[in-house]
Amino acid sequence: MGTQLVWNEQYNIGVEIIDREHKKLFSILNKLFDFGHQEEKSHWVCQEAVKYFKEHAVQHFADEEKYMVSIHYEGLKTHRHIHKNFRERTLPALEKELERTNYSEESVLHFLSVCAGWLIGHTLIEDRAIVSGEKIKHWENLMPDEEQAVMGQTVASLLHSMFQVDSWLLSDCYGGEKFGEGIYYRLIAVSKEKKKWEFFLIFEEKFIAGTIGSVMNIKSEAVKTMLMHAAGYVARQFVERIKRCFPSLQGYEMKEEQILSYEQFQMVYEKQSPQFSMLFDTGKGYFAYCMTSADQIQSESGTYVITENAMEQVRKYLNPEKEKRITTEPKRRLLIVDDSDFMLRTMQDLFGNDYRVTIARSGMSAIRDMALDRPDLILLDYEMPVCNGKQVLEMIRSDREFNDTPVIFLTNKVDKESVKKALALRPEGYLSKSLPPEVIKKEVDHFFTQKKRQEIHQSE
């Protein structure tokens, strides 16, 4: 993540009191980012700076909720829960980390990065829904606070007994954000009545390495394969213990297990409406635990893990990581923006081996992703609902930090008038979705070949 947040028009939701406070919080975080990199700084000044941000954030939440009451906003309850979670769980847990590490530079920057990522995501999704009228369905099935507390205590207790770590609940509204290199396990349990529970367990790699792998030489590829297999075994045992703790789950049997890439996890999890969605800091890395109940759970093309082929499949999962280590030049980052799951899967399969692919299903998700990790090229669907490709590119071009980000349109419209409108926005290309996949791949490869030549020429 960069060390500056650039305020621009896409963060405005059109409500003066909310936009003004968002801009103020962005400004405070930028000053704190600058300060965080200074070598000479006292703990007292750090404490005061964090306190200053916290006070402004808490006051902003109160003002925002007051406004929602005044317009009788239907999503007020969800908003209050998200605000309360950040105010009473995430911020205190981050402050404990600062104190525990004596306000080290790493912990200060971690505090700021988490706050910045949360602020960007909340502004572009939940806050924008205030004026759009769109209901935030992802959080509509969260269990009541009492049940959340019981589950949180159960998970924390299991983390202690299975890993010998003390954990802090950072959030009970974990939205699927990436918090480092992770291992993503998905397990599906089914009852005799064909009812289903779906479990997601996300281990930060350093958490697994610091617990299960603490006695292993994890630089060895063979040992890393064993480590992944051990994490899968632990995930199964973790869910089995959860089931034993809750009588309502005891009639369910495990039917499917998958290891997902982060992109696959995103595609599945964005469609869920979880009952529990918790993020923990264990002191050795992050751990997320999510549960959702559904009659129809969509399948995903992850790696299935069964007893007979577990080691082989884990090795397959690790192959892309092995390729990354062998490659001397880092892969270019490709952001693919499309509202079609079929198109996203097709593009992922097409580019996944040669590029670092990230996906977004909407223009707002794309803008949020760019703010967190700038792409080398965006493949942008021209005909998206709500915020179409033209509007997304206009926002990108209006942002001084991102306005030179290369964009290639993907579209079904190839008529002369549509092409003319698209080219006026200065994209690097305009490709028809009806083209054969190998032709689209060839065009993207050619773009990066030309870009590399230009970079070499400029460095001479």
Map out the domains of the chain with their CATH numbers.
Answer: 9-135 (1.20.120.50), 145-319 (3.40.1550.10), 327-448 (3.40.50.2300)
Q: Are the C-beta atoms of residues 198 and 258 closer than 8 Å to each other? A: no
Q: What is the pLDDT of residue 415?
A: 61
Q: Are the C-beta atoms of residues 384 and 433 closer than 8 Å to each other? A: no
pLDDT tens by residue, 277-332:
999 988 888 899 999 986 544 444 444 443 344 444 444 544 554 444 434 467 88
DSSP secondary structure, 383-398, as one string:
S-SSS-HHHHHHHHHT
Q: Are the C-beta atoms of residues 185 and 202 closer than 8 Å to each other? A: yes
CA atoms within 13 Å, Cβ hemisphere of 223: 11
Most confident of 179-193, 210-224, 374-388: 179-193
Q: Are the C-beta atoms of residues 409 and 380 closer than 8 Å to each other? A: yes
Asked if pLDDT for residue 169 goes beyond 80, the answer is yes
Q: Mean pLDDT over all residues of the chain? A: 77
pLDDT tens by residue, 4-40:
555 666 677 888 888 888 888 877 777 766 655 555 5
CA distance 177 to 305: 24
Q: Sorting pLDDT into bands at 50, 70 and 90, what band is 45?
A: low
